[in-house]
Amino acid sequence: MTTNPLGNRDLIRAINRSTVLTIIKNHGPIARAEIARQTGLSPATVSAISAELILQNLVVEKETGDSKSGRPPILLVINPHGGFVIGIKLTETQAIAAMTDLEAVVIAKQIEPILDHAPASVVKSLTNLIARLISESGIFKKQLLGVGLGMAGIIDARRGLLRESPIYHWHDVPLREMLQKQLKTLVYIDNDVNTLTQAEKWFGSGQVANNFITVTIGRGVGMGIVVNGQFYRGAGGGAGELGHTVVDPDGPMCECGKRGCLETFVGDLGLLNQAAEAWKRGDISAEAHTPEELVALANAGDMGAIEIFRKAGEILGRSVANLANVLNPERIIISGEGTRAGLWLFNPMFESVRQYTLATLINDLEIKIDPWGDDAWARGAATLVLSELFESPVYRGMSKAGG
């Protein structure tokens, strides 16, 4: 098969552009000559790309640098207001949206209740939410570079297809296409844990690790995987369904239809079900209708509540140890709403990790608890758009394909 020379030139141009833009983002203010030195590109190529980025308002000439002789060099820096992106975290009951600038600084937020789970109704709610956010922020629609959406489920990010949603009970919904048709702007969708992992990679605990895993606990249990600095999403976007690994085949029934999934022991609903059973047996001093109430009981010294978290932490720790043994990451980040349980959950988890991880591999591993809230989820979804702007098309294609 013959290759297309024009296509190759376009790809090389796109790679060079993303390389220069990323160098400016990471090291700016920076001189053109230093960009050429760091990238190996010719000064003429760097100058041409810089001129294009300045024309697009993505980069500005900020100030002059020091020079011992001759004219000081002009330094380049990202223009944070050269464009804006919107990130949305879609939950069972609401959509949390954040508008950020090109440095991922949140400049406006909005929340929209989700009352109807039909795909067309959800798209309409999201369209209204985005319109309000644009109006509140005072930007022009043409300044919006795109919208990123994160939600629970198996999502083929490359095709923009929501293959399966455990919360909405959707199957094979072309959500990206539906949103783009309404919004008339670029839309990117991904599993919400991947979006949070993207946030960790860009400006969180994943910045210093090329191989790390984000595990989220809350309504369910999710996982995002970064290998050699790139996302691993699996063949069809389904990688990371840690909550549906089976802990006990004879355990409680899970929403997915199997028994004994990890999230039936560690997720919010599983913890509350255990609390209800403990109340019936008289093993807990009061009913717990919310995860916060269960934590409050543990904080008050209720031994039944403490035992529920101890068991959950031990089971979670075994799963984390399995991840360490299989993938040997540098760092595992535990995040999500479930971190509210604090040491009641994490002390037994750490003990279990130490017990079940291979001694050699545990020396490679750092575990960090990172209790981020909904703002971080939405900000992570915004990085779906930012990554399209900054990442090389080579790596972008690899991560979306899952390898």
Same domain, 216 and 347: yes
pLDDT band of residue 66 (cuts 50, 70, 90) is: low
Q: How many domains does the chain have?
A: 3
Same domain, 367 and 235: yes
In a domain, 194, yes or no: yes
Same domain, 194 and 243: no
List, for residues 112-136, the tens digit of each pLDDT value. 999 999 999 999 999 999 999 999 8
Mean pLDDT of 54-78: 77
Mean pLDDT for the chain? 87
Q: Which residue has the higher pLDDT, 230 or 254?
A: 254
Choose the final residue of a domain: 78, 93, 121: 78
Q: Provide the pLDDT for residue 2.
A: 46
Same domain, 353 and 230: yes
Same domain, 397 and 329: no
Same domain, 161 and 133: yes
Same domain, 149 and 185: yes
- CATH code for the domain of 65: 1.10.10.10
Helix H, strand E, coil C: the string for the chain is CCCCHHHHHHHHHHHHHHHHHHHHHHHCCEEHHHHHHHHCCCHHHHHHHHHHHHHCCCEEEEEECCCCCCCCCEEEEECCCCCEEEEEEECCCEEEEEEECCCCCEEEEEEEECCCCCHHHHHHHHHHHHHHHHHHHCCCHHHEEEEEEEECCEEECCCCEEEECCCCCCEEECHHHHHHHHHCCCEEEEEHHHHHHHHHHHHCCCCCCCCEEEEEECCCEEEEEEECCEECCCCCCCCCCHHHCECCCCCCECCCCCECECHHHHCHHHHHHHHHHHHHHCCCCCCCCCHHHHHHHHHCCCHHHHHHHHHHHHHHHHHHHHHHHHHCCCEEEEECHHHHHCHHHHHHHHHHHHHHCCHHHHCCCEEEEECCCHHHHHHHHHHHHHHHHHCCHHHHHHHHHCC
pLDDT band of residue 5 (cuts 50, 70, 90) is: very low
List, for residues 72-115, the tens digit of each pLDDT value. 778 998 888 888 999 998 988 999 999 988 887 888 999 999 99
pLDDT band of residue 6 (cuts 50, 70, 90) is: very low
Same domain, 182 and 52: no
Same domain, 47 and 95: no
In a domain, 109, yes or no: yes
Domain hosting 39: range is: 5-78
Q: Provide the pLDDT for residue 373.
A: 63
In a domain, 203, yes or no: no
Q: Which residue has the higher pLDDT, 382 or 40?
A: 40
Q: What whole-number percentage of the chain has pLDDT above 90? A: 53
Same domain, 397 and 346: no
In a domain, 308, yes or no: yes
pLDDT band of residue 399 (cuts 50, 70, 90) is: very low
Rounded to two decimals, what is the model's pTM?
Answer: 0.78
Choose the final residue of a domain: 78, 100, 121: 78
Q: Provide the pLDDT for residue 249.
A: 94
Same domain, 176 and 238: no
- CATH code for the domain of 338: 3.30.420.40
Same domain, 129 and 113: yes
List, for residues 361-376, the tens digit of each pLDDT value. 999 899 999 876 667 7
List, for residues 307-345, the tens digit of each pLDDT value. 999 999 999 999 999 999 999 999 999 988 889 999 999
